[in-house]
Every structure is written in C-alpha cells, then in structure tokens.
Amino acid sequence: MKLQRTNRLRALAVGAIAVTGALVLSACGSDDNSGNPEGGGSQATGDIACAGDGKLLASGSSAQKNAVDAWVKNYQAACEGTQINYKDIGSGGGIQEWLQGTTAFAGSDSALKPDEVAASQKKVCKAGGGKGINLPMLGGPVAISYNLSGVDDLVLDAPTLAKIFDSKITTWDDAAIKKLNPDAKLPSSKIQAFHRSDESGTTQNLGAYLKAAAPQQWKYEDEKAWPAKGGQSASGSSGVAQQVKQTEGSIGYFELSYATANDLDSVKIDTGAGEPVEATTDNASKAIADAKVIGEGKDLALELNYRTEAAGAYPIILVTYEIVCDEGNKKDTLKATKSFLKYTASEDGQSALSEIGYAPLPEEIAKKVRATIPELA
C-alpha cells in the first residue's frame, strides 16, 4: 500500500512541478492580424478566446499558484502576445497590490472584507464607480502534512489540531494523539509546528475551520495573519511545505498540491462521521458542494460549511477567488483579464485542476462565474 501510494503521489508531483515554471509566460493574440491595437480580431481556440497583445499582472494566493501556472501554460499554447505574470505573495499582499492599482486582479483564499470593498470603491474601482467583487475559481483541501519517521497513517481531530497549533500539545506521544492512533508507534519527541509568516487566506481558512469545529480549544478570530503564539514560520505555502519536508517531527498546513509535490504524508481528519477522512480533491468537493453564495449582485462570495459531518467530506477546505472590479477595471488590461478568466472558469480550465491536486468548482457555482465574467466593465 505504501509503495503504491508513493508512486501515485510521485506521478502527481511530476505534473504539479511541471507547471510551476516561469512566472512570466506568453499568452494570447499573435494570430490577430486585424491591426487593431486593442486586439479586436481575437482568435478562439477551444475554450480560449485570445484578446490581443499586452501585459497582464496579478498577484496573491500561493495556494492557487500551481493551478495558475497550469492555466497559463495551456493558455500560452493557444495564444501569443500577452505576458502573464502571477506573483504568489500571499492573499493579503495580493489584495493590497490590487487596491493600489498595480495589478489587473488579485488571487485570494478568502473573500474581501467590508473594509477592503470600501477601499476598492475609493481606489482601484473608482473610475467606473464600481467595487471589488469575488469570483470563486477553484477549491481544494488544506492538507495537514507531517514528517514523522515510522508513522505514515495519522488521524487527528479538530480539538487536537487546535491544541497542536496553539502549542498546548507539544509532543507526539501526547495522550490525545495516542487515543486517535492506538496502533501507531508515536515517539516522545517534540512537535515542530509550522505556520505562515505572511498574511494568508490559507491561514484564515484553517482558522475558520478550527474556530467552527473546536471553539473551546481555538479562541482566535479567523484572520489572514497567524494569531497563535509559539511554533515556527515560513513564507508561502511552498515555504511551509519545504520546512515540513526537511524537519523531522514537523507538521504544517498548505494546499494539497504542495503535499503531493513534496511527497508528504497528510493527516486524516476525524469529523465524527464514522471513518476518518483523507485529504483528497474528491473529498474536498463533497464539502465545497455544501457552500452557499452569500455575495450580492456580481459578487459571488461563498459561505463554506467547515462543520460538515457528511460521509467522506473533508472539512478543511478553501476556495480561491479572483478579485476584480465589477465596474472600473483598467481599460488597457480588461480584455485580457476577461479572456484569461473566461478560460480558467471554463470546462476545459476546470478539468485541468484535478490532475494537480485541486477541486473544480461545483457546476452550479461555475455557471454563475461564467455568466458574470463577460459583464465586467
């Protein structure tokens, strides 16, 4: 079983690593011979409609970085001309750059807060009288991965996780961990818990899960900045994953594709629904399907059910959003932005996700995203 699982993970890892290459990639429009500087003679290839020449800058969520790289790679194969540069600087940093008007859109693992929407009305969306909106684009499990010699099947529940990340459980042979893993050979060594040093929607989603599922053990608000004392930190999902991979006795959190790419074991979660649930895209999809759209108008912000006890539903989930203006987007990048986002939300764009550890949007939500993108102004 271990050999089979390792081979499967390595095969997926190759796919994930293959698409995490250059930050700057060509995409869209060299076949436009119309002479229109705005790309009016755009070409369509499959689900990709090229929008002309130009430069498209975006930044934000590191959790979606592997997916964005895959999308850009496919987009580039169909189009030429527009340079796409996505920087994985974390959700908080991406939103700030977008608010300052330096990027066409931001990637975030959590929806805009009311103060960020208000800021968008005064800043980046001001010219068109619009506001920032959330377009959900992909989902996935937040894997709780660990590096513990001799233990390749570990079960934890929300209260135990909360105590580990709050430095209340500090050794691997703690009674709470033993109770959940009676057959595991747990060492008495210290737990090396890693969290994000940058502001992160992944952190916020983990916090939302712990607060909902273990309110007595996790007293913090679900914010992008890590709230608890103790532990060790690293920048970005890739940084935390690298630290877990090279540190014996460690545990950390990041999007599943980073666990896959680094061949790391991930915790199964005891949700109280019977069998502990593994972090897989299918299991995450079962939880994401329970999400509700709570945004108004063109805003498609979702409310996730972190307390799900549905059989086989993995509860530590995130949905990443692309943040844009409903009206007032930059005129020089609007066509390219809409072109690229139309592809990412398309059936082709969504079908590329499962192979690299992400969960496609539920079809009902995807249809709403597809209907909204052409209306951006």
Judge whether 204 lies within some domain.
yes
Residue ranges in the chain whose pLDDT is less than 70: 1-46
CA dist 150 and 248 (Å) reads 11
Helices (H) and strands (E) counted in the chain, each on its own, are 13, 16
Judge whether 215 lies within some domain.
yes
**Between the CA of residue 337 and those of 84, 318, 332, what are the distances in Å?**
10, 23, 10
Judge whether 300 lies within some domain.
no
Domain that holds residue 217: 141-287
Q: Give residue 272's pLDDT.
A: 86
Judge whether 34 lies within some domain.
yes
Asked whether residue 188 falls in the same domain as residue 247, the answer is yes
Asked whether residue 164 falls in the same domain as residue 95, the answer is no
Judge whether 318 lies within some domain.
no
Asked whether residue 40 falls in the same domain as residue 113, the answer is yes
Asked whether residue 344 falls in the same domain as residue 264, the answer is no
Asked whether residue 101 falls in the same domain as residue 6, the answer is yes
Asked whether residue 120 falls in the same domain as residue 172, the answer is no
Asked whether residue 229 falls in the same domain as residue 169, the answer is yes
Asked whether residue 179 falls in the same domain as residue 121, the answer is no
CA dist 6 and 243 (Å) reads 20
Asked whether residue 97 falls in the same domain as residue 214, the answer is no
**Between the CA of residue 183 and those of 154, 177, 178, what are the distances in Å?**
10, 11, 8
Domain boundary among 287, 312, 338: 287
What CATH number did the domain enclosing 348 receive?
A: 3.40.190.10
CA dist 225 and 213 (Å) reads 20
Asked whether residue 36 falls in the same domain as residue 123, the answer is yes
Q: Which residue has the tokens 């082709």?
A: 348
Domain boundary among 287, 302, 333: 287
Judge whether 319 lies within some domain.
no
Asked whether residue 174 falls in the same domain as residue 188, the answer is yes
Domain count along the chain: 2
Q: Which residue has the tokens 């004392």?
A: 229
Percent of the chain as helix, strand, coil, to the nearest 5: 35, 20, 40
CA dist 290 and 332 (Å) reads 38
Q: Give residue 38's pLDDT.
A: 34
pLDDT digits (tens, 9 = 90+) for 298-357: 999 999 989 888 889 999 999 999 999 999 999 999 999 999 999 999 999 999 898 888
Asked whether residue 127 falls in the same domain as residue 156, the answer is no
Do residues 79 and 49 lie in contact, with contact meaning Cβ atoms separated by under 8 Å?
Answer: no
Judge whether 22 lies within some domain.
yes
CA dist 168 and 176 (Å) reads 11
Judge whether 188 lies within some domain.
yes
